[in-house]
Amino acid sequence: MQFEIWAKGLAALNVDCVVLGVFEDGELGEEAQGIDSASRGFLKKLLARGDFSGRSGETLLITELPGIEASRALLTGLGSRKNFSRKTWRRSLASAITAVAKTRIASIALAVERPPAKDLDDYYFGRAVAEIVGSTQYRINDLKTSKKPKPHALQKVLAGPVRKAGVEAAERGLEHGQAVSAAAYLQRDLGNLPANVCTPTYLADQARALAKQYTSLRVQVLDEAAIKKEKMGCLLAVSQGSHQPPRFIVLEHRAGKSDNPPVVLVGKGVTFDTGGISLKDPGGMDEMKFDMSGAAAVLASMSLVAKLRLPMRVIGLISAVENMPSGHAIKPGDIATSAAGLTVEILNTDAEGRLILCDALHYSRRFNPAAVVDIATLTGACVTALGHHHSGCMGNNEDLVHELVEAGVRADDRAWHLPLTEEYADQLKSNFADFANVGGREGGAITAAAFLGKFTQGLKWAHLDVAGTAYQGGAQKGSTGRPTPLLADFLIHRAGL
Ligand code: BES
Ligand code: MN
Ligand code: ZN
């Protein structure tokens, strides 16, 4: 896909289709007005007939529009002017791209009314266009044997209008947006793979492949013996019930002043979560193939920092295991010793994410990190609390939590700050070990984070619970690629770009 910014002269652009925004009640966006004049009122006539209402999500393809170079125009509804926002703008763009994908149109000029600059500046305009086009074009890497013919591919997108002074920023936005989009594709592809393909070993191979692709990346994969040497007893406890061997992945990106303290990203890579002996209900259990979404987001983010050559040091750590019941599996009440030396009573084998993360978080200490962020599909309780709209964000450092929340707002991949105050840790008391791995139903997303908090004292740490946001069910079932846009924004900002 080729992206370019256009600044003026829409009517003369040589593309297959111009995409124009129309508000509800027929008010034309600014560029649409210009096209209407050029076509001697063609659009107004069409609207007067009531053929297009401008409702958000609605589109109409006009196959011949006089007075412009393009051979077609696509109208996309912007909803009411009063409620026009970045969100409705995003939706109207996504609807337009979806409609275009059903045609033979290969090149478009986007000329949809833009939200005010305070809501979407030129840089984020470019970024959003590339990300929206990318995510709308995503196709699941399915294993269907009857291959549908590929939709006629869109090849070129001109985005505008952008004032001359803003073209450079918008072009940088396009470049970054394409990188974010490619990274989200990687996360989605990995998430959508079945667990019999996407095993811990497979994730390690993906990390190796990334390190081959980018010279700034170095990879180290710890196998079971090496993990034992690191005394990661909690990670091993989860893994011991599975025939699939565990992997601990270390990916490092070095650029710029590379002796600076790194940002460390830690991903939960449970390639399938049956719950173990605390077996899950069968309904919807297949969704637990997405339980490696945190790991996939870390791989995606590492590919992004490498692709954009962000001048900073970033380290990705991934605990990759399968959580299975078997004669070798851990049992409720078993006690494991973490790499940090703390003992954990495993009251519920389905609370396995925190067990593999605690050893990874401890591992991060050797890098003397500037910040540690873990990403995990950690709790159903987080889905209950926030639904599918926000990721949960907690941590021991307010500034870091705010930095992530703000990155999520800018990236339209939002997270919500949940309170991680010290009382929650009380729920983890155990009579038999330093603490238990579960703290009851109440505040389950937070007690899970409180567990991680036991291992991150003295670090600047934040935790993203993406159980509700990393994938979706229903007709669009599959990985969403979240929170890669949030992480990308966080990292790009940290790099000062
Ligand atoms: N992977 C699950 C969390 C999850 C649930 C992700 C639903 C996506 C959708 C996690 O390992 C888990 O099983 N958590 C338990 C914790 C409980 C036993 C304290 C849960 O949420 O039920
Ligand atoms: Mn579980
Ligand atoms: Zn899990």
Please tell me what DSSP assigns to residue 345. Answer: E
Please name the residue whose Cα sits nearest to atom 14 of ligand 1. 379
Confidence of residue 129 (pLDDT cuts 50, 70, 90): very high
DSSP 10-22: GGG--SSEEEEEE
Centre of ligand 3 to C-alpha 273, Å, is: 5
Centre of ligand 3 to C-alpha 353, Å, is: 5
Residue written as tokens 């930095």?
403
Cα distance between the two ends of the chain: 24
Confidence of residue 117 (pLDDT cuts 50, 70, 90): very high
Which are the catalytic amino acids? 280, 354
**Model pLDDT, residue 57:** 92
**Model pLDDT, residue 497:** 86
Residue 348 and residue 431 in contact, taking contact as beta carbons nearer than 8 Å: no
The CA distance from 373 to 316, in Å, is 10
Ligand 1, closest atom to CA 291?
A: 1
pLDDT of 467 above 70:
yes
**Model pLDDT, residue 258:** 61
Question: Residue 115: is the preceding peptide bond cis (ω within 30°)?
Answer: no
Centre of ligand 2 to C-alpha 411, Å, is: 29
Backbone angles phi, psi at 373, to 5 degrees: -125, 120
Ligand 1, closest atom to CA 348?
A: 18
Please name the residue whose Cα sits nearest to atom 16 of ligand 1. 351
**Model pLDDT, residue 146:** 86
pLDDT of 42 above 70:
yes
Centre of ligand 2 to C-alpha 340, Å, is: 22
- Tell me the whole-structure pTM to 2 decimals: 0.97
Looking at the CA of 285, name the nearest ligand. Answer: 1
Extract the tokens encoding 176: 């970054």
pLDDT of 259 above 80:
no
Interhelix angle 293-307/484-494, rounded to 10 degrees, is: 40
Confidence of residue 26 (pLDDT cuts 50, 70, 90): confident
Task: Work out the number of other CB atoms within 10 angstroms of the CB of residue 429.
Answer: 12
**Model pLDDT, residue 153:** 83
In this structure, are strands 391-395 and 415-417 parallel, antiparallel, or unpaired? parallel
**Model pLDDT, residue 25:** 84
Please tell me what DSSP assigns to residue 441. Answer: S
Helix (H) or strand (E) holding 428: none
The CA distance from 167 to 176, in Å, is 14
pLDDT mean over 137-166: 89
Collapsing DSSP to helix, strand or coil, 65 comes out as coil
Centre of ligand 2 to C-alpha 448, Å, is: 11
| Residue to mutate (ligand 1; options 278, 281, 354, 379; most atoms within 8 A of CB) | 379
| Residue to mutate (ligand 1; options 238, 277, 350; most atoms within 8 A of CB) | 350
The CA distance from 418 to 378, in Å, is 14
% of the chain residues with pLDDT over 90: 94
Q: For residue range 214-225, what is the model confidence (pLDDT) as tens digits? A: 999 999 999 999
Closest to 201 (Cα-Cα) out of 286, 284, 295: 295
**Model pLDDT, residue 381:** 98
Cα of 85 vs its chain's centroid, Å? 22
CB-based pocket (< 6 A), ligand 1? 273, 291, 348, 350-353, 377-381, 383, 438, 444, 467
pLDDT of 75 above 80:
yes
Q: For residue range 317-365, what is the model confidence (pLDDT) as tens digits? A: 999 999 999 999 999 999 999 999 999 999 999 999 999 999 999 999 9
Confidence of residue 149 (pLDDT cuts 50, 70, 90): confident
Ligand 1, closest atom to CA 470?
A: 8
Centre of ligand 2 to C-alpha 279, Å, is: 9
pLDDT mean over 455-465: 98
Residue 344 and residue 434 in contact, taking contact as beta carbons nearer than 8 Å: yes
Q: For residue range 425-458, what is the model confidence (pLDDT) as tens digits? A: 999 999 999 999 999 999 999 999 999 999 999 9
Please name the residue whose Cα sits nearest to atom 17 of ligand 1. 351
Looking at the CA of 378, name the nearest ligand. Answer: 1
The CA distance from 108 to 68, in Å, is 13
Ligand 1, closest atom to CA 278?
A: 18
Please name the residue whose Cα sits nearest to atom 5 of ligand 1. 380
Please name the residue whose Cα sits nearest to atom 3 of ligand 1. 379
Please name the residue whose Cα sits nearest to atom 13 of ligand 1. 350
pLDDT of 139 above 70:
yes
Cα of 24 vs its chain's centroid, Å? 32
pLDDT of 472 above 90:
yes
How many residues are given for the chain?
Answer: 497
> What average pLDDT does the chain have?
96
Residue 188 and residue 145 in contact, taking contact as beta carbons nearer than 8 Å: no
pLDDT of 147 above 80:
no
